[in-house]
Structure 1
Amino acid sequence: MLRSLVLASVASAALASGPLPPLPLGLLQEPAPKPDQLTVTVSRTGNPRADGSYELTCKPVGGTHPEAKRACARLESFAAEDTDPFAPVSTRSLCTQQHGGPATARVTGTWRGKPVDAAFDQKNGCEISRWKDLEPVLPSVRS
């Protein structure tokens, strides 16, 4: 959008006052995309090694997440499908009334250039599926 505004302004000015000096190329380039950076905080999974807070960076892969490479690959598969894995369960969903345990997770940060602040739990069948679908970004939960 900034690029369009700059080009329109330059064109208008050129028509009004004659030739202008060239613009710096930096004004015409799109800003580099921010890397995917997420903080994953997990508790009460039944696995003390899985509970805690982890940093996950993708493009390039890094951070303290124990399965960063697999987690980034999983997020990339969501991107390829143009699916938002952090979207809440629809209020129109019919969910089985099963309880998957006390595990909770929160994911915050940036993914695909957009802010993320998503909560996860195991309170019903839809939430259990949503959690499992995001593994290994979220750890497996003991049943």
Structure 2
Amino acid sequence: MARRRTPSVPASPLVLTLLALLALFLVSCAPSSNSNTPSSTSNPPASASETSLTIEVKATPESNSSSSVLNCTGAKSLDGSTVKLADAACAALEKAGPGIFQAPITPQSCTMQMGGPQTAKVSGTFHGSVVEKTFDQHDGCAIAEWNQLAPLFGSDAADGKL
């Protein structure tokens, strides 16, 4: 019995282009691993309206940090919060919104003044999204953010006493 041969058909440039585009599409749909994604030091909240943050405040760059935890549902603090003014901190976060944890989209003009050496690293989840940002008082814009979230950093943070 003789074998039948199938004639080979050269692939047209259109077919090759479509296959290449399909391969690129499939690669772009694959999940990616982003090593720059900040890790949460707190357990994720149960719902998107809940917040669970760890706050590490330093009075000076050389000093030890003091650590506290804030758990909120909306503007109300939850059990387990160790921030002194927990309800005020939750309310300040709600008022500030998620933009407080993001870099400005457009360049800002900020006054060149130093508000103090204090820093506060805030990490965890805010409304279900992982956040991590270090707040300081290196210029007028940073001072405004610091003052907006002062209850989060401790009762003395607004007065510059830590």
Q: How does 1:96-135 map to 2 (within 5 A)?
A: 96-135=111-150
Checking the alignment, whether the CA contact within 8 Å between 1:100 and 1:122 is kept in structure 2 is yes
Conserved 8 A contact 1:99-1:124: yes
Share of identical aligned residues, percent? 37
1:140 aligns with 2:158: yes
How is 1:8-27 mapped onto 2 (pairs within 5 angstroms)? none
User: What TM-score, normalized by structure 1, do the two folds share?
Assistant: 0.64
Aligned residue number for residue 86 of structure 1: 101
Distance 1:102 1:91, change over 3 A: farther
Q: 1:119, 1:141 → 2: CA distance? A: 19
RMSD of aligned C-alpha atoms? 2.4
Structure 1 unaligned segments of length 5 or more: list them: 1-31
When the two structures are superposed, what TM-score results if normalisation uses the length of structure 2?
0.57
Question: 1:39 Cα deviation (Å)?
Answer: 0.4
Residue 123 of structure 1, CA deviation: 0.7
Is residue 57 of structure 1 aligned with residue 57 of structure 2?
A: no
The match for 2:90 is: 72
Q: CA deviation at 1:85?
A: 1.9
Change in Cα spacing, 1:127 to 1:39, as seen in structure 2 (3 Å) is: same
Instruction: State the number of aligned residues.
Output: 105
1:89 and 1:95 map into 2 onto residues whose CA distance is: 12
Gaps of 5+ in 2: 1-45
Choose 1 or 2 for highest CA Rg: 2
Aligned counterparts of 1:88 and 1:120: Cα–Cα separation in 2 = 11
User: The residue matched to 1:92 in structure 2 has which SS?
Assistant: coil
